[in-house]
Amino acid sequence: MLAEIKLGLCNPPDPVYLYVNQGEFNGEPYVWYRYDVNNDKTIPVQQKGLTGYLTQLRLTTKEFKGKDNVKLDIVVSADELYVIRTGIETNFAKTFLLAVSQVQDFSKPLIIAATPGEENVVFCRLYDAVTKIRFRREWNKDADWVEMIHSIQFRLQSQREQRAGEPTCL
């Protein structure tokens, strides 16, 4: 089934970048935000979860205050293409990786939820979007995060290739 394409003026299909951090705007707490580079402005996002299909994990190096920082980009296909960008050493990234390592079928939508902790800490909770069952894995401070990322990337790629080889009905 092909999606109907809306003709006329539109915005280009650039990804929406979401960042993770606790903050408050007009007395309302938030854990996600977008960043307007042109105006050097943080734009809070009130929703705590994002529902979509995990399509890719990327490691990206960004310069911040004269140092290279490694970021985890979590690419999610939903109503738009979203990229959740978080530091690789954050609790959000680590709790996401632990949970997503339990996912067997990436062809099903997931809910990625940002959950505030104490002070500036944000954790990730991951759910099956259909059953609302949470994916859990016990905390392991000594986990091999790089190996976990490579394993998830491999499974995502394998499932993508498997679906590409399946016959389609029009």
- How far apart are alpha carbons 145 and 128 in whole angstroms? 22
pLDDT, one tens digit per residue, over 73-118 is 999 999 999 999 999 999 999 999 999 999 999 999 999 999 998 8
Query: Would 143 be classed as within a structural domain?
Result: yes
Give pTM, 2 decimals.
0.86
Query: Would 8 be classed as within a structural domain?
Result: no
- How far apart are alpha carbons 72 and 63 in whole angstroms? 14
Residue 140 lies in domain: 16-165
**How many domains are there within the chain?**
1
Contact status, residue 73 vs residue 58, Cβ threshold 8 Å: yes
pLDDT, one tens digit per residue, over 51-79 is 999 999 999 998 878 888 899 999 999 99
Query: Would 11 be classed as within a structural domain?
Result: no
